[in-house]
């Protein structure tokens, strides 16, 4: 046996990947079984606090900036003037904080099914929740799939799907019906962005997701890879899709004003430079 | 205890990072205690074969392309006409294979201290050794530090330091004396490139290394991040330094002709877009 005993380490075994990732912990801070999932918070020795949902690492203090910046900024800067934004999931509120850095944004509605996630984040990741009281923000705790189904047609500029893996509560966020709702709710030129797993480890899933998004009628797709140290393989992605238009560049921001740790226009451009291992897989799909 | 028992998993615990990474294995294929280090080869369930040196994951079939392409191509394409290349370390021969894709290259001398690494690679990573018989290649099994100390002045265009972490046999590859030897052996405009650990996890080490390289008289430095799924944090880096000149762009190749899985000119450009978390650390150092 290894020395990764449960009193000193949190371990996520990813059966589908044949890999496991462990962080050394000082202690379990809190855990709750919500109506939807098991949510735990650990204090780690080197990654700050760590949120774990149903046994999967979700967010740590040390490295969440990669994910939150990359799910928010490429989508928003790909839109000429995003005013109304919806976040499905995102209960830790880190994505919300990044979205609210955009002056053009007039409203952001976040719909996470599980209030426990946000309550835990307020307590253990206060820095991610620093924009929750922004008057432009509305936090709902409800079913995001239903919310999108009922959304007014052509009322949203950017939809950010910041959900868990396509198992458990996040499953319904990866199918045709959901993407159709999103397409209908977006204004022309609107952008959908979704976390799209590891391009190294989960290409079949990514291809399936891209196919479903295309089939409901979105225009061009872009899958942007970025580092995600606590998820399997350390390489993750977001996939952007646009209603009625392709992706013709993006607005370049002043990176200092944006106050990011990873995202810059140069990093955005770099993430658009699709590596051949991804291009080959996408082309095989056609 | 976790279920990562030693019969079914290889686990590397990275004490300095407070993290651990495990790959599921079918079996141990071979292990040898060389005069320098312990070298083991596993067959994994999802990553192909895995080489482990002194308990640290080194190379797997599935993802070594990130590392080998990124330690070779940015350095070679930053030089206008690299003819004579030296690889210190690199015993798995994957870097050598990438270097030999460059038509301008007339000689590549690889000096790895441990022949066992190359013997194991020939057996279990034959695809990485496919260029070993190229008439331009010379494989030496010797002390790379001594080799560089004795190298003829101004005789090399690109030096690639493809060593292990700065502990054990790799330790002497990260100090002033070694960098001075490299500087002397490079022709004007020559490029030194070295694997430089994780910019997320090992910034103090990276800063120390950059300082030492600058102090011996190299010109501009560039640290390029890239994915490295089986190393701590999944985010790794190479640091390039140039003798007497800065880095003013690089030669753009035809990516199809290069037959890479990760590297393209666009990916190279993207890796040069230093994320703010790195820039801030570098600037604090001055």
> Do both A120 and A181 map to the same domain?
yes
Subunit contact B20:A17, Cβ cutoff 8 A? no
Q: How many domains does chain A have?
A: 2
A1 occurs within a structural domain: no
A46, A276, A277, A282, best to mutate vs chain B, most B CBs in 10 Å: A276
User: Residue A249 contacts by C-beta under 8 Å, 6 or more apart in sequence?
Assistant: none
Whole-number Cα distances in Å, A207 to A201, A211, A221:
12, 6, 11
> Do both B264 and B176 map to the same domain?
yes
> Do both B100 and B56 map to the same domain?
no
Percent of chain A with pLDDT over 70: 97
| Contact status, residue A237 vs residue A205, Cβ threshold 8 Å | no
Selected residue with higher pLDDT from B286 and A14? A14
Subunit contact B200:A234, Cβ cutoff 8 A? no
> Do both B219 and B78 map to the same domain?
yes
Subunit contact B20:A9, Cβ cutoff 8 A? yes
Search chain B and give the residue with CA nearest A264.
B275
CA distance A18 to chain B (A): 5
Contacts of A234 in chain B (CB under 8 A): 227-229, 233-235
pLDDT at B7: 86
Search chain A and give the residue with CA nearest B46.
A18
Q: Which of B38, B60, B82 is the last residue of a domain?
A: B60
> Do both A36 and A69 map to the same domain?
no
Subunit contact A63:B200, Cβ cutoff 8 A? yes
pLDDT at B261: 98
- Looking at the partner chain, which of B2, B13, B46 has a beta carbon nearest the beta carbon of A18? B46
A145-150's contacts with Cβ under 8 Å and 24+ in sequence apart are A145/A88, A145/A172, A145/A173, A145/A177, A145/A178, A145/A181, A147/A86, A147/A88, A147/A111, A148/A86, A148/A88, A148/A178, A148/A181, A148/A182, A148/A185, A149/A177, A149/A181
> Do both A206 and A68 map to the same domain?
yes
B4 occurs within a structural domain: no
> Do both B46 and B133 map to the same domain?
no
| Contact status, residue A146 vs residue A169, Cβ threshold 8 Å | no
pLDDT at A1: 42
pLDDT at A286: 63
- pLDDT surpasses 70 at A169: no
Domain housing B231: 64-279
A3 occurs within a structural domain: no
Contacts of A260 in chain B (CB under 8 A): 276
Mean pLDDT along residues A238-254: 93
pLDDT at B219: 85
Subunit contact B233:A229, Cβ cutoff 8 A? yes
The confidence band for A255, taking pLDDT boundaries of 50, 70 and 90, is confident
CA distance A122 to chain B (A): 24
Q: Which residues pair with A75 in a beta bridge?
A: none
B2 occurs within a structural domain: no
> Do both B213 and B226 map to the same domain?
yes
CATH number of the domain where residue A218 is located: 3.40.50.150
- Looking at the partner chain, which of A62, A262, A269 has a beta carbon nearest the beta carbon of B270? A269
The number of C-beta contacts closer than 8 angstroms across A and B is: 167
B3 occurs within a structural domain: no
- Reported ipTM: the value is 0.95
> Do both B48 and B90 map to the same domain?
no
- pLDDT surpasses 80 at A165: no
> Do both A56 and A117 map to the same domain?
no
Search chain A and give the residue with CA nearest B228.
A234
- Looking at the partner chain, which of B4, B6, B266 has a beta carbon nearest the beta carbon of A20? B4
pLDDT at B247: 87
Give me the active site residues of B, please.
162
B33 occurs within a structural domain: yes
> Do both A126 and A113 map to the same domain?
yes
Please return the burial class of A209, using the count of CB atoms within 10 Å of its CB with bins 0-12, 13-18 and 19+: buried
For chain B, list residues with pLDDT below 70.
Answer: 1-3, 166-170, 286
pLDDT by residue (tens digit) across A171-204? 778 789 999 999 999 999 999 999 999 999 999 9
Written as one string, the DSSP assignment of B91-157 is: TTSHHHHHHTT-TT--EEEEEES-HHHHHHHHHH-GGGGTTTT-TTEEEEES-HHHHHHHSPTT-EE
B275, B278, B279, B282, best to mutate vs chain A, most A CBs in 10 Å: B275
CATH number of the domain where residue A19 is located: 2.30.140.10
pLDDT by residue (tens digit) across A127-150? 999 999 999 999 999 999 999 999
B185 occurs within a structural domain: yes
Q: Which of B60, B79, B99 is the last residue of a domain?
A: B60
Q: Is A15 annotated as a binding residue?
A: no
> Do both B23 and B72 map to the same domain?
no
Q: Which of B20, B45, B60 is the last residue of a domain?
A: B60
SS3 (DSSP) at B263 = coil
pLDDT at B286: 63
pLDDT by residue (tens digit) across A69-119? 999 999 999 999 999 999 999 999 999 999 999 999 999 999 999 999 999
pLDDT at B165: 72
């Amino acid at each position: 046996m290894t020395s990764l005993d449960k009193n000193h380490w949190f371990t996520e075994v990813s059966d589908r990947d044949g890999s496991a990732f462990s962080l050394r912990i000082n202690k379990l801070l809190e855990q709750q079984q919500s109506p939807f999932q098991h949510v735990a918070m650990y204090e780690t020795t080197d990654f700050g606090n760590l949120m774990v949902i149903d046994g999967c690492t979700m967010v740590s203090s040390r490295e969440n900036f990669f994910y939150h910046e990359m799910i928010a900024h490429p989508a928003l800067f790909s839109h000429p003037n995003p005013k109304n934004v919806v976040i499905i999931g995102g209960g830790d509120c880190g994505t919300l904080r990044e979205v609210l850095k955009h002056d053009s944004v007039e409203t952001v509605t976040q719909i996470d099914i599980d209030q426990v996630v946000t309550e835990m984040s307020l307590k253990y990741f206060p820095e991610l929740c620093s924009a929750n009281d922004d008057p432009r923000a509305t936090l709902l705790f409800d079913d995001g799939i239903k919310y999108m189904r009922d959304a007014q047609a052509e009322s949203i500029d950017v939809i950010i799907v910041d959900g868990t893996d396509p198992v458990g509560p996040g499953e319904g966020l990866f199918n045709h019906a959901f993407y159709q709702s999103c397409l209908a709710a977006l204004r022309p030129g609107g952008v959908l962005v979704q976390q799209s797993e590891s391009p190294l480890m989960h290409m079949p899933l990514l291809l399936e997701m891209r196919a479903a998004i295309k089939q409901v009628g979105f225009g061009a797709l872009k899958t942007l890879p970025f580092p995600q140290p606590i998820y399997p393989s350390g390489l993750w992605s977001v996939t952007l899709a646009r209603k009625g238009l392709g992706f013709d560049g993006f607005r370049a921001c002043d990176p200092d004003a944006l106050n990011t740790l990873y995202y810059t226009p140069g990093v955005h451009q770099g993430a658009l430079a699709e590596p051949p291992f991804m291009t080959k897989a996408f082309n095989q799909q056609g």
